[in-house]
Amino acid sequence: MTADQLYNADDTDGSSVCEDEEWPSTPVPGPTADMKAREAIELLQEAREHLRQNKYGEAHHAAKDAQSLFRDAGRLAEELASYFCIAQALVNQGEIQHALEVAEEARGRCVKTDHALAESNLLVLIANIHLAELDHLIEEQCVTQSPSSPSDRKIELQQKVVKTATAALEVSRKSRDDNCQATALYLMGRAHLAVQKGDEARRFTAQAQKLFRALGDVDMEGTSLLFLAELCLNLDRKQEALAALRQARTLYRTLGDTAKMKAVDELQQRISGPAPMTQIRAPVGIHTPLPSVGAGTVKLPVSGLSRIK
């Protein structure tokens, strides 16, 4: 199934298309398992707090302990949430391949147990990691060789980003998770840009922005608008770019986010300049590019697999 068959971004009005759905909670067999589950919940909350504080080593250890306890207690949904935290901690420690292995292992368990909600979140995480790798590779190639001569690795990553983002969108619709669907749409925009399909990237990004707005996610709506402005500028749609920037400026003023207000101002200056930019830069948002393999500064969301009963 193609991305356009999954979601035609021009056919929707931006309203929320799915109802919120809680994670199913696996019954806990007995008081010993119940004690383990309570301890595991505390550890998982601790891991998430460590992620917010950029304490990735501590987050990794706490999430691993939580995962083990949840497995012993028979709590599948929360065990999968722990896998998600483990992968986030690993990627921010620069252990990219290990993070991917953990996420893929957890996704395999989702498929076997038909746990679509967890799978959609994990697919979003995997797509984010591949996208960060691709951004880093593109930056390297801009320095070392002509971007017009893509390497085999670049082509491989482009294909992985598109494939994983498409799967994330498909599964997020199945799981009826609006937040994950909005993020998947945003990733579809980034993925289509990676394979030089600007019009498709613009359509998916515009739909992501509408859904983020319906969800009340002001920060990600602003991120989508900023990326949309970049896309429109490079498609020679300057008026649309300016309209997106005006909306983004209003949102960031509401948030008091001076860093992103500066990003809006910089893009405004480029629009007013003699020619559009030749390379679209990733907006501040779901992740930032890796500075070097192993250094590990990918900023991934600490939300996602977060609903524990």
Query: Mind listing the pLDDT tens digit for each residue in 118-149?
Result: 888 899 999 988 888 887 787 777 766 555 55
The confidence score (pLDDT) of residue 53 equals 92
Confidence category of residue 209, pLDDT binned at 50, 70, 90: very high
Summarize pLDDT for 69-113 with one digit per residue, the tens. 999 888 888 899 999 999 999 988 888 899 999 999 999 999 888
The confidence score (pLDDT) of residue 246 equals 93
> How does DSSP classify residue 294?
T
Confidence category of residue 250, pLDDT binned at 50, 70, 90: very high
In the block, tokens 């998770």 appear at 177
The dihedral sign for the CA sequence 103, 209, 289, 190 = positive
Cα separation, 188 vs 292, in Å, equals 24
The confidence score (pLDDT) of residue 302 equals 39
In the block, tokens 């498929």 appear at 111
Cα separation, 253 vs 258, in Å, equals 8
Could you write out the DSSP letters of every residue in 83-124? HHHHHHHHHHTT-HHHHHHHHHHHHHHHHHHT-HHHHHHHHH
Closest CA to 166 of 187, 180, 182: 187
16 or 140, which is more confident: 140
Q: Does domain 22-114 have CATH number 3.40.190.10?
A: no
Does residue 24 carry a pLDDT above 60?
Answer: no
Over range 210-239, report the average pLDDT.
92
Contact of 267 with 247, CB cutoff 8 Å:
no
Question: Exposed, middle or buried: residue 250 (CB in 10 Å: 0-12, 13-18, 19+)?
Answer: middle
Instruction: Determine how many CB atoms are found less than 10 A away from the CB of residue 309.
Output: 11
Q: What CATH class does 134-288 carry?
A: mainly alpha
Confidence category of residue 26, pLDDT binned at 50, 70, 90: very low
Does residue 281 carry a pLDDT above 80?
Answer: no
Does residue 184 carry a pLDDT above 50?
Answer: yes
* One-letter identity of residue 45: Q
Q: The pTM is what?
A: 0.73
Confidence category of residue 60, pLDDT binned at 50, 70, 90: very high
277 or 193, which is more confident: 193
Report the C-alpha dihedral over residues 306, 104, 197, 202, rounded to 10 degrees: 0
Q: Which residues of 206-236 are buried (b: 16+ CB within 10 A; e: fewer)?
A: bbbbbbbbbbebbebbbbbbbbbbbbbbbee
Cα separation, 84 vs 80, in Å, equals 6
Over range 212-241, report the average pLDDT.
92
Supply φ then ψ for residue 144, to 5 degrees.
Answer: -100, -25
Contact of 247 with 256, CB cutoff 8 Å:
no
Contact of 227 with 205, CB cutoff 8 Å:
yes
Confidence category of residue 225, pLDDT binned at 50, 70, 90: very high
Closest CA to 84 of 113, 59, 114: 59
Q: What percent helix, strand, coil does the chain show, rounded to 5?
A: 70, 0, 30
Residues 6+ apart with CB under 8 A from 95: 296
Query: Tokens at residue 284, please?
Result: 């501040």
Question: Exposed, middle or buried: residue 109 (CB in 10 Å: 0-12, 13-18, 19+)?
Answer: middle
Which of 113-127, 169-183, 293-307 comes out lowest in average pLDDT? Answer: 293-307
**Domain boundary assignment for the chain:** 22-114, 134-288
Domains 22-114 and 134-288 share a fold: yes
